[in-house]
Amino acid sequence: MRSFLRPRVLVAALATLTLAGCGFSGNQAQPAQSTAAADTSQRIVVDNFRAPVANWAVESDAAYILSLSGCLETLTKYDQAEGKVVPFLATEWKQSSPLDWDFSIRQDVSFQDGTALTAESVVAALNHVLDAKVPARAFNRTMISSVTALDATTVRVSTPAENPLVPYRLASVNTGILAPAAYKDAEVNPFGHCTGPFTPVSEKAKQSLTLDRNENYWGGDVQLAGAEIRFITNGATRAAQVQTGEADISLSIPVASLAALKSAPGVTVLGADSPRTATLYMNNGRAPLDNVDVRKAIRDSLDLDALAASVYEGAALPATGPFAPSEPWAGEGQEKHKQDLDEARKLLASAGYTADRPLEIIAIVERAEFADVAAVIQENLKNIGIPLSIQAKEYASAEPDVMAGNYDMLLSQRNRLIDIADPIGFLTADYTCKGTYNLSHFCDGEYDRIIAEAATTIDANERYKLYAEAGRILKDKAVNAWLVNEQATDAVRTNVLSYVQDPLSRYVLTANTAKSAS
Partner 1 sequence: MLQFITKRTATLLAAVAVSSFAVFLIPYVTPGDPVRKIIRSRVAGDAVDESAVRGLAESLGLNDPLAAQYLRWLGDFFTGDMGLSFVSRTPVAEQVLPALTVTLSLVAMSLALAAAVALPLGIISGLRPGSMADKAITAVTQAFIAMPEYWVAPVLVLVFALKLSVLPTAGWNDLSSAVLPALTLALRPISFFTSAVRAGIIDAAGADHVAAARARGLSHAQSILRHVIPNGLVPLSTLFAVWFAGLLGGSVIVEVIFAVPGMGRLLFDSVINSDIPLAQGGVVVVVALAVGVTTLADFVHRFLSPTVGDSLA
Contact between 434 and partner 1 by CB under 8 A: the answer reads: no
Among 15, 258, 359, 373, interactor with partner 1 by CB under 8 A: 15
Among 25, 30, 33, 55, interactor with partner 1 by CB under 8 A: 55
Contact between 514 and partner 1 by CB under 8 A: the answer reads: no
Nearest of 71, 70, 104 to residue 89 by alpha carbon: 104
Among 18, 41, 216, 350, interactor with partner 1 by CB under 8 A: 18
Q: Phi, psi at residue 491, to the nearest 5°?
A: -120, 135
Q: What is the dihedral of CA 264, 268, 269, 270, to 10 degrees?
A: 180
**CB-based burial of residue 341 (10 Å sphere; 0-12 exposed, 13-18 middle, 19+ buried)?**
middle
Q: Name the CA radius of gyration of the chain, rounded.
A: 24
Contact between 240 and partner 1 by CB under 8 A: the answer reads: yes
Among 5, 54, 130, 368, interactor with partner 1 by CB under 8 A: 54
Handedness of CA 49, 53, 58, 60 (dihedral sign): negative
* Separation of first and last alpha carbons in the chain: 44
Choice between 97 and 397, CB closer to partner 1: 397
Q: How many angstroms separate the CA atoms of 42 and 514, rounded? A: 8
Contact between 131 and partner 1 by CB under 8 A: the answer reads: no
Among 207, 216, 406, 461, interactor with partner 1 by CB under 8 A: 207
Contact between 501 and partner 1 by CB under 8 A: the answer reads: no
Cβ 191 to partner 1, closest distance in Å?
A: 15
Residues 6 or more apart in contact with residue 324 via CB below 8 angstroms: 273, 274, 275, 277, 330, 485
Contact between 517 and partner 1 by CB under 8 A: the answer reads: no
Pairing mode, strands 359-364 and 409-415:
parallel
Choice between 109 and 269, CB closer to partner 1: 269
Site for partner 1 in 381-410 (CB under 8 A): 393-397, 399
Contact between 6 and partner 1 by CB under 8 A: the answer reads: no
Q: How many angstroms separate the CA atoms of 124 and 174, rounded? A: 14
Residue 201 contacts residue 219 (beta carbons within 8 Å): no
Cβ 306 to partner 1, closest distance in Å?
A: 27
Contact between 14 and partner 1 by CB under 8 A: the answer reads: yes
Element (H, E) at 85: strand 84-87
**DSSP codes of every residue in 362-416:** EEETTSTHHHHHHHHHHHHHHTTT--EEEEEE-HHHHHHHHHHT--SEEEEEEET
Among 151, 246, 290, 476, interactor with partner 1 by CB under 8 A: 246
Among 67, 69, 121, 140, interactor with partner 1 by CB under 8 A: 140
Q: How many angstroms separate the CA atoms of 165 and 155, rounded? A: 16
Site for partner 1 in 147-176 (CB under 8 A): none
Q: How many residues does the chain have?
A: 518
Among 69, 121, 277, 412, interactor with partner 1 by CB under 8 A: 412
Cβ 114 to partner 1, closest distance in Å?
A: 27
Contact between 274 and partner 1 by CB under 8 A: the answer reads: no
Indicate left, alpha or beta for 377 from its phi (over 0: left) and psi (-120 to 50: alpha): alpha
Among 2, 133, 184, 434, interactor with partner 1 by CB under 8 A: 133
Cβ 333 to partner 1, closest distance in Å?
A: 29
List residues binding partner 1 (CB under 8 A): 9-11, 14-15, 18-20, 50, 53-55, 57, 59-61, 133-137, 140, 142, 186-187, 204-208, 230-234, 236-237, 240-241, 243-244, 246, 393-397, 399, 412, 414-415, 418-419, 429-430, 436-437
